[in-house]
Amino acid sequence: FCQEFLEMGELRVPCSLRLTEETQSTPVRLYALRVLEHHAREGRPDVSGGEGLLFKRSLMGLMLNGTRHILEEEACIKEALVRALLRLIQCNWPRRWPGLLDELRELCHKGASRCELAMLTLLRLSEEREPGLARALRLHVPGVLGLVHGLLQDSVQGHLFLKTRDTPPLQIQVHCRMIAAAIATLARYVKLAPAELLAANHFQLLEPLWFLLADGDLRLEAAECLLAALKRAAKIPHCKPLLGLLEDVAAQYVLRVPSRVAAEGLTERSYSFLRKQCQLLCVFGEQLCRAMDAHGAEDMPSTFGKYLDSLLAFTAHSSHYLSHLTQSTWKKLFSHKHLSQNRLLLTVLPRYLLATKTNLMTVCFPSKNCSRSCAYSHFDFLTDEDFHVFLKSFRKEQRQVLRLACRLYPNTCFRKASEFLKHQLLSSVDSVPIHSLTLDGFHCTPTSTYHQWEAVTFFINIIVETFSKNLQKQNLSVNVGIELLQRLLSFKTKDPLILACVPKNICTLLPFLNLKNEWLPQVLNKLLEIIEELKAPKPQALKSGRRDACSCVNRICRDQAQLLLPNFVILFNHIKQLLCNELLQLTLMEKSTLTEAMVILINHLKDYHRQKVFLEELMAPVSSLWLSNEMQKVFAEPDALVHYVCADLRTTNTVVESDMDLNSSEIIHCVATILGVLRWTCPADVETAKTGGFVDEVMSSGKPRYRNPCAEQILKLLDNVLVLINTQNMLYLPEIMSKMGKKYGEVLGLPSVANSSNLDLPQPLLDIYDPPEYKTALEKNQGFFCTLYASCFSILGYGASSLKRDFYSINSLVARLLGSAFINLENIPNYRLLSIVHNFMKPLVDSCPPEYYATFLSPIMRTFLPFLHTRLTHDWNIIEQKNL
């Protein structure tokens, strides 16, 4: 029946008009309007006369009298009626219907319902993509904007007047609905209008919207429209018209602090308005910077102080997202040639620093419900992972702005940072008793105090890092820095999470210690105490704290080695004791860092025989394990190595994972220690080297030939390194791969964490307080094999550059390298070949003495370079085929 009705010809229009009457049901009216739309689209009636003119009058009659009250009529009916009229406009305007805008303007004066329909018609008209219609519309944009502006000016004044009287709520709703339709239309047309047209007569077109920013019912729509208009107007080459708004009535509405809105309660609509208002402020800030670039400081608005107050209010807001929006504006202000020197900006700087510190203290994931900030996070982020990705970017922005602020006003920033740290040291309270920490059930929940410490640590790290670049010994700030160090040394807490923040702060303040080193022994003792206190670190925060303490010890040994030498033996024995203490469960990185610290100190002894003795003592546990019968069996066969690190198991359990972690950590620790010891350098001064016994002989060229105190220890371990490299290359043999199965192939792959890092992709969290790390047995094995392969070739590379002739003169080393490092290369993937090229071949070639070119380098190059050429040619052909 419906299809027959569409094909009725002359009768379908009058029948449809009867069916659109208000007495009919909504589905019937909707169907009738769709028939009228079909008639306009297929029949393309000419409205200049005849049936087309009658059809146009019928549709305009429906616009005038064919709908119910504005609050009662269904939205689908309005849309269907507008679509029918739009189809008629498409085939007649403007050539055959030049008076369309006049008819719509007249319709706007016939009541709220007709006005809403007229605005909806203009809105849908702007969305049409037909080229001819789009060109005509662009020519008539000024007329449309004039129509909408006139309507808004009258309606807004009437609406605000009604709000001051005891007006029935329904009447207010009628005005809101009509004005909202007009604003939506205006927001669409400002995107089509030339920027100069929007700025004409001091932005007169936007004037009604400023008043609506104070209206709770329409402020969101007004803010959205203003934002679209000002972004469009920002394309004007000169920015004076836009800045003039800050001197006008608009200022009292734009420069509103968000607390006024927050006092009304948190709703999605009110929060959306805050976001738009914040974006408005940022647009003004961007244009202010442009104007100052073009015209200098004479164009500074008198309301600049109020502008900064408003911007600061958004920065200090509980919403992380609102604070994030303001960071780009602060960055522009602090880096601007003229504005950065403005006294008003200096005045608000301490408040900005306080707001940033307060914001850093609130880490509110959407899954939590511990503060008002969490409620805002519910609106902004779907998951904790989304929030984590955002937070990482947000912290980066804050770091950049703080650095800029510190470069401009270093003394002010450092003074505030020191005040924050002093206050935190005085106000911290213990939240977790020490006896609640156990090895198996680690009770360690972050508290508000911990988040405060974390924020202050982040803050002072940025400020001091920037401030300390221009430190001088007589600078009064040095005394403040030393005072902060003293307070940290005397600080006591039973909360392990707070204690974990102390090493980071001490490490940050080390530049002051370099200028006044009287407190060096106390600092070193404090760090070693913290390493011992933070036992069995399960949460990542504690791992970071102990790692920071080890890094700080390493840094002190590097920068203050000469001052530590008188107590070298005591310090050496203390650190060696830490390395051997199984209860501490030091991680691989911590052991490597402390070992490297000892190697650095040993290097400053400048005595070949003493260094050799201490290096032998330091290497003894590693040598014993590396040369043990068990390890030799593990390194000799691919099956034994895979089984030893549990990479051949398809299912995992707690016991298996524990064995896997322990066994793989032993191997990696040995490799890392060998690498740490190899990073030895001879004294730069030849006379010092001769006095210390480092010069073995003086060659005919007059250059000294140095000897390395670790050479004997390293050369003993080199055989097993080559065996291990050979076994790792054998892992890729086709028969081994097929025997082990598909799961084994995944174990030898590149870790997903490494892939994500290369592509700069966010990584999932294990816990909301922990950074990404290897978390499954597969990923742990992937990380192990990747690290082991790269480290073994690094040992060969460092061996060549550190041991020099002791390395190149090893008997039959070339043959052993060709039989281990360069076998089965055709089956080894490219990501493993990178380790051979970067970690081994480059230092091998760079460090090779000329007399070993023919006997050492040539045989290796004759084997490796042809293979490398073949592999690169094959890969390049694949790339070219893909491009085709």
Residue 78: how many CB atoms within 10 A of its CB? 21
Same domain, 339 and 463: no
DSSP label at residue 697: E
**At 261, phi and psi to the nearest 5?**
-75, -40
- CA dist 801 and 814 (Å) reads 16
Report yes or no on 161 lying in a domain: no
Residue 790: how many CB atoms within 10 A of its CB? 18
**Beta carbons of 114 and 64 less than 8 angstroms apart:** yes
Here the tokens at position 690 are 């001769």
**At 705, phi and psi to the nearest 5?**
-105, 115
If residue 244 lies in a helix (H) or strand (E), which one and from where to where? helix 240-244
pLDDT tens-digit profile of 256-305? 755 566 556 788 999 999 999 999 999 989 888 888 887 776 668 888 99
Q: What percent of the chain has pLDDT over 70?
A: 89
pLDDT for the residue 326: 96
CB-neighbour burial class of residue 517 (10 A; exposed 0-12, middle 13-18, buried 19+)? middle
- CA dist 475 and 410 (Å) reads 12
Report yes or no on 634 lying in a domain: yes
Same domain, 744 and 656: yes
Q: State how far the alpha carbon of 578 is from the alpha carbons of 490, 499, 533, 706, in Å.
A: 23, 19, 11, 33
**What is the pLDDT confidence band of residue 757, given thresholds at 50, 70 and 90?**
very low
pLDDT for the residue 247: 72
Q: What percent of the chain has pLDDT over 90?
A: 52
Same domain, 849 and 754: yes
pLDDT for the residue 683: 73
- CA dist 571 and 706 (Å) reads 28
CA atoms within 13 A on the CB side of 695: 16
The pTM is what?
Answer: 0.80
**At 312, phi and psi to the nearest 5?**
-65, -35
Q: How many domains does the chain have?
A: 4
Q: Which domain holds residue 661?
A: 622-884
**Beta carbons of 371 and 364 less than 8 angstroms apart:** yes
**What is the pLDDT confidence band of residue 758, given thresholds at 50, 70 and 90?**
very low
Residue 857: how many CB atoms within 10 A of its CB? 17
- CA dist 592 and 358 (Å) reads 36
Same domain, 805 and 873: yes
Same domain, 664 and 795: yes
If residue 706 lies in a helix (H) or strand (E), which one and from where to where? strand 704-706
Same domain, 591 and 676: no
Closest among 453, 421, 465 to 541, alpha carbons compared: 453
Report yes or no on 219 lying in a domain: no
Q: State how far the alpha carbon of 391 is from the alpha carbons of 387, 395, 554, 580, 759, in Å.
A: 6, 6, 30, 39, 19
Here the tokens at position 352 are 């900005």
* Residue type at position 451: H
Averaged confidence pLDDT in the chain = 86
Report yes or no on 565 lying in a domain: yes
Here the tokens at position 244 are 């003039």
Same domain, 628 and 567: no
Domain finish residue from 124, 139, 154: 139
**Beta carbons of 276 and 224 less than 8 angstroms apart:** yes
Q: With the C-alpha atoms ordered 218, 223, 229, 232, is the resulting torsion angle positive or negative?
A: negative
pLDDT for the residue 303: 86
Q: With the C-alpha atoms ordered 574, 580, 585, 591, is the resulting torsion angle positive or negative?
A: positive
Report yes or no on 421 lying in a domain: no
Report yes or no on 128 lying in a domain: yes
Q: Which residue has the higher pLDDT, 334 or 742?
A: 334
pLDDT for the residue 133: 87
Domain finish residue from 408, 439, 455: 408
**Beta carbons of 712 and 718 less than 8 angstroms apart:** no
Secondary structure of residue 35 in the 3-state scheme: helix
Residue 334: how many CB atoms within 10 A of its CB? 22
pLDDT for the residue 431: 47
* Residue type at position 354: L
pLDDT for the residue 768: 34
**At 47, phi and psi to the nearest 5?**
-80, 0
**Beta carbons of 373 and 364 less than 8 angstroms apart:** yes
**At 442, phi and psi to the nearest 5?**
-85, 105
Domain finish residue from 139, 159, 179: 139
Tokens 């007709």 -> residue: 114
What residues have CB less than 8 Å from 783, skipping those under 6 apart?
A: 751, 753, 774
**Beta carbons of 855 and 809 less than 8 angstroms apart:** no
**What is the pLDDT confidence band of residue 773, given thresholds at 50, 70 and 90?**
very low
pLDDT tens-digit profile of 57-68? 999 999 999 999
What residues have CB less than 8 Å from 870, skipping those under 6 apart?
A: none
- CA dist 709 and 607 (Å) reads 9
Report yes or no on 355 lying in a domain: yes
Closest among 204, 227, 234 to 274, alpha carbons compared: 227
Closest among 539, 520, 514, 543 to 530, alpha carbons compared: 543
Tokens 């007249």 -> residue: 106
**Beta carbons of 405 and 334 less than 8 angstroms apart:** yes
- CA dist 505 and 501 (Å) reads 7
Closest among 820, 819, 756 to 782, alpha carbons compared: 756
pLDDT for the residue 145: 94
Residue 723: pLDDT above 80? yes
pLDDT for the residue 545: 85
Same domain, 790 and 859: yes
Same domain, 706 and 834: yes
Same domain, 397 and 432: no
pLDDT tens-digit profile of 152-198? 999 999 998 888 888 899 999 999 999 999 999 999 999 998 888 88
Same domain, 677 and 825: yes
**At 788, phi and psi to the nearest 5?**
-65, -45
Lowest pLDDT segment from 78-87, 677-686, 812-821, 868-877 = 677-686
Residue 292: how many CB atoms within 10 A of its CB? 21
Same domain, 371 and 451: no
CA atoms within 13 A on the CB side of 667: 28
Report yes or no on 218 lying in a domain: no
Closest among 515, 490, 329 to 425, alpha carbons compared: 490
Residue 475: pLDDT above 90? no
**Beta carbons of 274 and 296 less than 8 angstroms apart:** no
pLDDT tens-digit profile of 579-609? 888 888 888 888 889 998 999 999 888 899 9
Q: What is the CA radius of gyration of the chain?
A: 38
**Beta carbons of 288 and 301 less than 8 angstroms apart:** yes
